Amino acid sequence: MSILANKDTRVVIQGGQAGVNAARRMAEFCYLIKRPLNVEAFVYPPDAGKTNEIPYGSGLLAIPVYKSIAEATKNHPTLNTSLVYIGADRAMKGGMEALDDPHIKVVSMITEGVPEKDAKILGAHARKLGKVFNGPSSIGIISAGACRLGVIGGAFDNLVLSKLYREGSFGVITKSGGLSNEIIWICSQFADGITTAIGIGGDAYPGTDYVSYLEMFENDPQTKAVVIVGEMGGDLEERAAEWYGAKKRRVKLIAVVSGFCQESLPKGMKFGHAGAKEGMKGEGSARSKSDALKKAGALVPPTFGALGPAIKETYEDLLKSGQVKAPVEPAVLPRLPKTVEEAMKADEVMVAPLIRTTISDDRGDEPCYDGYPASELINKGYEIPHVIGLLWDKRLISKQEAEIIKRIMMLSADHGPCVSGAYATILAACAGIGLSQSVAAGMIMIGPRFGGAVTDAGRFFKYAVDNKMSVDEFLAYMKKNHGPVPGIGHRVKSLRNPDKRVKELVGYVKSLKVKTPCLDFALEVEKVTSVKKDNLILNVDGTMAAVLVDIGFPIDSLNGFFILSRTIGLIGHWVDQKRQDSRLIRLFDYLVNYAAPKRREVPPLK
Amino acid sequence: MAKVLEGPGMGLMKKWGINVPNYVVVTSVDELTKLGQANEWLKKSKLVAKAHEALGSRFKLGLVKVDLDFKAAEAATKEMIGRQVGSITVTQVIVSEMIPHKEEYYCAVKSTREGTEILVANCGGIEVESNWERVKRLCLEIGQSPSPESLEKLSKEAGFSGALAKKMAEFAGKMFACFDSEDAQYLEVNPVVLRAGDDELVALDAVTLLDGDAKFRHPDWNFAFAAEFGRAYSKQELEVMAVDSKIKGSVKFIEIPGGDTAMLPAGGGASVYYSDAVVARGGKLANYAEYSGDPPDWAVEVLTEKVCSLPGIRNIIVGGAIANFTDVKKTFGGIINGFRKAKSEGKLKNVKIWVRRGGPREKEGLDAMRALKDEGFDINVFDRNTPLTDIVDKALQAK
C-alpha cells in the first residue's frame, strides 16, 4: 500500500512547459512500472484546445489541454489529483480552482515563491473541504511501484537504482526536494526502499505538515517506519515530536534536523529555505527540534551521514521481528528506450543518413566552409569570392581568381528595371508582396532567354576547346545538334554598339597574362558570327561563362554567378519600390493586342 | 522574510492610519537644512537622529542621538553620515520628532500557522522583554478579521481600561489592517506611547518584516529590503543577488569572514546539512552558498568565481544530494569554467576541492570534474555511493 498517491491516482496538471516536463518524468515512471500514464489532462488557457505530446516508451501520447479544471474534469471524470505548476502570482487562483472542483481530492503545488498568506489560505480552504493541499514548493510525491506526482525521484536511471519500481517499508517526508531523492536512495541501499515519499516544501507554513502525513503512514500497514528530514525554523518538527510522543505508535520514527551551523554563525544569518528561520527566542532551532524528537522516542542520528546506518539498524530489527520480509527483485526491468543519438553514441545502432554533405558543417561553435572556420577566413583576409570558391567548388581560389569573380558580380548585379527579372520583382513589390517572394518572382524569370545561358555557354565552349574544334566545326556542330550558340547574340547591343561590360571583363582578364583557352575560342566565334549578323556578338553571359570555365569552376555552378549577382539588384528593386510606397500596377489595354475571339453567345450545356 | 528599515516601515503604518512621529530620511546635512526651512516641526520639536541602516546596537555605537534641537540634529547628521561600521557605511539618517510621553505600551502582529496573532501589553520598551507574561494574545484564523469587541476584550485583558482600552483596541485593529493588507510577516511597535497633550497613541519604534514573495502585488513597495544580519550586503553578495533575480532556478551567496572552508553545494536543503557537517567537524565556514532549480551554467559560473575569490580558503565543498531535475553535467560545466578562470587568475593555490553529487547526467558531470586533475587541480570526486556529507569529513581530516 501507499498513501496519498496510488494506482488509482489520475492527474490533471495546471501549467505550461514546467508541467509538460513533469508529465514526461511521470511517464518514465509509469513506463517503468508498466502502467498507463497517470496524467490525463492539462489546464493551461493559452494552449486550450491543443494537445501536449508526452513520450511513453518509444511512442508519443497526446494529452489534451483545457482552459479550466471544470472543463478537464467534465471530460475526464476519473481525475482526482491536481499538480500546480503556475507562476507564483497566479498560483493561489489556480490552487483554489482545483480545490473547489468536486472531483479533485489532492492538490500538490510545485510553484516556489508563493506569498505566505496565499499558502495559508489554500491550506485552510483544503482543510475545510476535507481535502489535501500539499506544498507550495513541493518537489512532488512518489509511491514506489504505484504513482509518481511531479519530478521527485529524478532521472530514469535513478528510479531504477533507488528501486522505486516496487514497494519497500519506509515512508519519507522532507521539506527539501533534493534531499527527498537522497533519502529514497538511502532507504533503497540500507533497507528495502520506500512506500511513499512526500516533499512538503520548504516554506514556513506548508499546506500539510508532518503530522497529517504521519497519521496517514500510521494507518498504512505496509509502512513500518517513517524518515523525516527537518530544518530549523517553524514548529513542524516539534509538532511531529508531540504526535509521536503522545501515544504508542505503530510506525518507527527516524528524524534528522538541519541548522546546527546557526549556533556558530552571526546572529540573524539565514540559510536555505524560506521556512528555515529561527524564532526570536531560539524556538525552532535545530537543537530544540532535535531534542524534542529524541524525547518523543524518535531515532535521531547526530548527523545526516549517520542516517544510513540508523535506517539499516531499523530495517534489520524489522527483519528480525518478522515484520518485513526481504523483497524479491523482479528478474527483468523495462529499460527506457534510448534516443537515436544515445544509441548511436553507445554503438548500438547504425543509421543510414538521409542526406550527405561535402561542403560545410556548423555543428561546432561556428560554421566551417570546406573545413575552414569562417572567423579564421575573415581574420586572414579572405573575402566573399573565396567563400563562393569553397562552397561551390570546394577549393581556396587565388587572389587573382577572387578578383575576377568580384568583377563578374559587380558587372552583373543589375541591369535596370526593364529586364524580365527586375520587372517581375517590381510587379510583385507593387502588389504588396514581401521581399523573399518578390525576389523569388524575379528569380523565376532566369532561364534560357534571360540570364540563364551562362551554364550552357560554358558547357559548349568547353566542349569545343576540349575536342579541339575549329570555329567552323563548332558552329556546324551547334547548328546540327542544338541551335543558336548560347552566349552569342544580344537584343540591343551590336558590333557598332558594343557591350561595355564585356569589353571591361575581357580587357581585365587578358591583362592578367594567364591562359584563357575558352575565352579565346569564344572571341574567335564572335568574329565569325558578328560578320553574319551585326548583333551576334559575345554577350555578358558568354563572356562570364568562358572566363569561369577558364579559371576552373564546374559547369553546373556557372548560372549561379548570375543568380547570385542579380539577387543584389532584385533586392534593390524591391526595397526601392517599398521605399516609394508604389501603388499596384496593371497593364493598360492599349498595351495588349486582344486577339481573342469576339464576344459570342454561350451554347446550352450538353 | 524581508526586513524593512524604519523609514519605509513607518510609511506603511502611516498609510493604514497609525500615528507615527513626523520624520525625514536624509542623505546629507544640506538636505536636512533645506527640509528644516520647509517643515516647521523640525524647528519646533525636540528631535531624535538615528543612522538609517540595517545595524544592530546603534545606541551603543553612538548612532542614536536624542533630545536634540535642530542645530544639534544637523551636527549629529553630519557626524553620522559617512561613518564606517564594519562593512557598512552610513549613508542615511532618519530624523524624527521626540514624542513627549509618560506611558509606554507594546503591540505586535505576527504570522502563525493557523493565521495571525495580535499581541498587546500595557508595558513597553525593555519592560515588556522582562515581563513577557503580561503580553496578551488574540489568535485569528487566516481570512478572519478581528471584531472591535474582540480587540477591546484583548485590550482589557492586557490591563487597559476605559477610554484607553478603546484606543488601544483601535490601534491594534489598525496594526492588523496594515499587517494583513501589506503581506507582512511580523509587525512590532515597541513602544506604543501615549502622547502628552492629546492622549493619542503613537508608534514610536517599529520592526517591519514583509513577505518578499508578495512584492508582485505591492507596486508601492519602492524601497529596498535590508539585510537581516546586522550588516549590509557585500559587493560580491549583491552581484550574486542580481544574477539570482534574472534566472530560472536560484543561486545564493553569503560571506562569513574569517572562515577557511568554502561552500559550493547544491540545493536549499542539502546546503544546510553541508554547513552543519563543517561546523560539527570543527571547521570554519567561509561562506554559505547554494544553487538549485537547474540554474543556467553561467549563473553557477558566477557563483563559483565568488566562492574561489574568498580569502584564505583551504577547501571547497562542491556537495549535493541526488538531484531531481538539475542537470549535473550542465551545472558542473559552470563550476568547471569558474574553477578554470580562478586558476588562470592565480587563485586556488593550495586549495583542495571536494565533490559529491548525483542526479541527471551524473556520470558525465563527475567524469568532467575528475578530468580537472589533469589540469593540475587538487580535486577529489565522489559519487552517490559516498554518503552526502562524508566529503566534509575527508576534507577536514586531510592535511
Nearest chain B residue to A92 by CA distance is B214
Name the pLDDT band for B233 (thresholds 50, 70, 90): confident
Residue A237 CB-half CA count within 13 A: 35
> Order of strands, edge to edge, in the sheet holding B23-26?
B23-26, B93-97, B47-51, B64-68
Total count of residues recorded for chain A: 606
The answer to whether B19 faces chain A, any CB pair under 8 Å, is no
Interchain contact, B269 vs A89, CB within 8 Å: no
Distance to chain A for B221, nearest Cα, Å: 15
Chain A positions touching B366 (Cβ under 8 A) are none
Chain B positions touching A21 (Cβ under 8 A) are 325
Q: Are A563 and A472 in contact (CB under 8 A)?
A: no
Helix (H, G, I), strand (E, B) or coil at B101: strand
Check residue B61 and give its pLDDT.
87
Q: What DSSP designation does A46 have?
A: G
Interchain contact, B229 vs A267, CB within 8 Å: yes
Chain B positions touching A180 (Cβ under 8 A) are 324
Interchain contact, B272 vs A259, CB within 8 Å: yes
- Please name the member of B141, B288, B326 whose beta carbon is closest to the beta carbon of A271: B288
Chain A positions touching B217 (Cβ under 8 A) are 89, 115
Check residue A43 and give its pLDDT.
98
The answer to whether B390 faces chain A, any CB pair under 8 Å, is yes
Name the pLDDT band for B60 (thresholds 50, 70, 90): confident
Q: Are A48 and A65 in contact (CB under 8 A)?
A: yes
Q: Give, in order, the Cα–Cα distances in Å from B63 to each of B8, B50, B73, B92, B259.
A: 19, 6, 12, 11, 29
The answer to whether B86 faces chain A, any CB pair under 8 Å, is no
The answer to whether B229 faces chain A, any CB pair under 8 Å, is yes
- Please name the member of B183, B280, B285 whose beta carbon is closest to the beta carbon of A115: B183
Rounded Cα gap, residues B307 and A57, in angstroms: 42
Residue A374 CB-half CA count within 13 A: 14
Helix (H, G, I), strand (E, B) or coil at A465: helix
The answer to whether B153 faces chain A, any CB pair under 8 Å, is no
What's the whole-number mean pLDDT along residues B83-104? 89
Match 517591519 to its residue by C-alpha cell. B208
Check residue B230 and give its pLDDT.
64
Q: Please, what is the angle between helix A307-320 and helix A177-190, to 10°?
A: 40
Rounded Cα gap, residues A12 and A74, in angstroms: 12
Q: How far is CA A212 from the centre of its chain?
A: 41
Nearest chain B residue to A117 by CA distance is B183
Match 524591391 to its residue by C-alpha cell. A574
Check residue A180 and give its pLDDT.
94
Query: Going by C-beta distance under 8 Å and a sequence separation of 6 or more, which residues neighbour residue A163?
Result: A144, A188, A192, A193, A327, A329
Q: Among B3, B113, B190, which would you mutate to test the A interface (most chain A Cβ atoms within 10 Å of its Cβ)?
A: B113
Q: Single out the catalytic residue among A273, A386, A490, A573.
A: A273
Rounded Cα gap, residues B282 and B269, in angstroms: 21
Q: Give, in order, the Cα–Cα distances in Å from A288 to each of A135, B128, B143, B274, B279.
A: 24, 24, 31, 19, 17
Check residue B84 and give its pLDDT.
87
Chain B positions touching A302 (Cβ under 8 A) are 280
Interchain contact, B324 vs A178, CB within 8 Å: yes
Helix (H, G, I), strand (E, B) or coil at A383: coil
- Please name the member of A115, A153, A158 whose beta carbon is closest to the beta carbon of B211: A115
Nearest chain A residue to B216 by CA distance is A89
The answer to whether B279 faces chain A, any CB pair under 8 Å, is yes
Q: What DSSP designation does B358 have?
A: B
Nearest chain A residue to B211 by CA distance is A115
Chain B positions touching A274 (Cβ under 8 A) are 1, 213
Residues of chain A with pLDDT under 50: 280-281
Check residue A142 and give its pLDDT.
97
Mean pLDDT, rounded, of chain B: 93
Alpha-helical (H) ranges within A138-209 are 156-161, 177-190
Query: Going by C-beta distance under 8 Å and a sequence separation of 6 or more, which residues neighbour residue B395?
Result: B261, B283, B315, B317, B352, B354
Chain A positions touching B114 (Cβ under 8 A) are 120, 124
Check residue A266 and give its pLDDT.
67
Interchain contact, B388 vs A274, CB within 8 Å: no
The answer to whether B298 faces chain A, any CB pair under 8 Å, is no
Is residue B226's pLDDT more than 60?
yes
What's the whole-number mean pLDDT along residues B109-118? 93
Chain B positions touching A182 (Cβ under 8 A) are 270, 321-322, 358, 388
What's the whole-number mean pLDDT along residues B135-144? 95
The answer to whether B149 faces chain A, any CB pair under 8 Å, is no
A573: annotated active-site residue? no
Q: Among B388, B389, B391, B397, which would you mutate to test the A interface (most chain A Cβ atoms within 10 Å of its Cβ)?
A: B388
User: Going along A180-258, which residue ranges are E strands?
Assistant: 194-199, 225-231, 252-258
Chain B positions touching A176 (Cβ under 8 A) are 267-270, 321
The answer to whether B30 faces chain A, any CB pair under 8 Å, is no
Interchain contact, B389 vs A305, CB within 8 Å: yes
- A to B CB pairs, distance under 8 Å: 190
Nine-digit cell string for A174: 522532507
- Please name the member of A117, A154, A266 whose beta carbon is closest to the beta carbon of B359: A154
Interchain contact, A177 vs B267, CB within 8 Å: yes
Nearest chain A residue to B230 by CA distance is A268
- Is the previous residue joined to B191 through a cis bond, with omega within 30 degrees of 0? yes
pLDDT-above-90 percentage for chain B = 83
Chain B positions touching A259 (Cβ under 8 A) are 272, 276
The answer to whether B35 faces chain A, any CB pair under 8 Å, is no
Nearest chain B residue to A112 by CA distance is B213
Interchain contact, B272 vs A21, CB within 8 Å: no
The answer to whether B211 faces chain A, any CB pair under 8 Å, is yes
The tens digit of pLDDT for each residue in B299-356 reads: 999 999 999 999 999 999 999 999 998 999 999 999 999 999 999 999 999 999 999 9
ipTM value of the model?
A: 0.90
- Please name the member of B214, B216, B267 whose beta carbon is closest to the beta carbon of A178: B267
Q: Among A179, A228, A236, A277, which would you mutate to test the B interface (most chain B Cβ atoms within 10 Å of its Cβ)?
A: A179
Q: Is A552 exposed, middle or buried (0-12, 13-18, 19+ CB in 10 A)?
A: exposed
Q: Among B215, B325, B326, B328, which would you mutate to test the A interface (most chain A Cβ atoms within 10 Å of its Cβ)?
A: B325
Distance to chain B for A277, nearest Cα, Å: 9
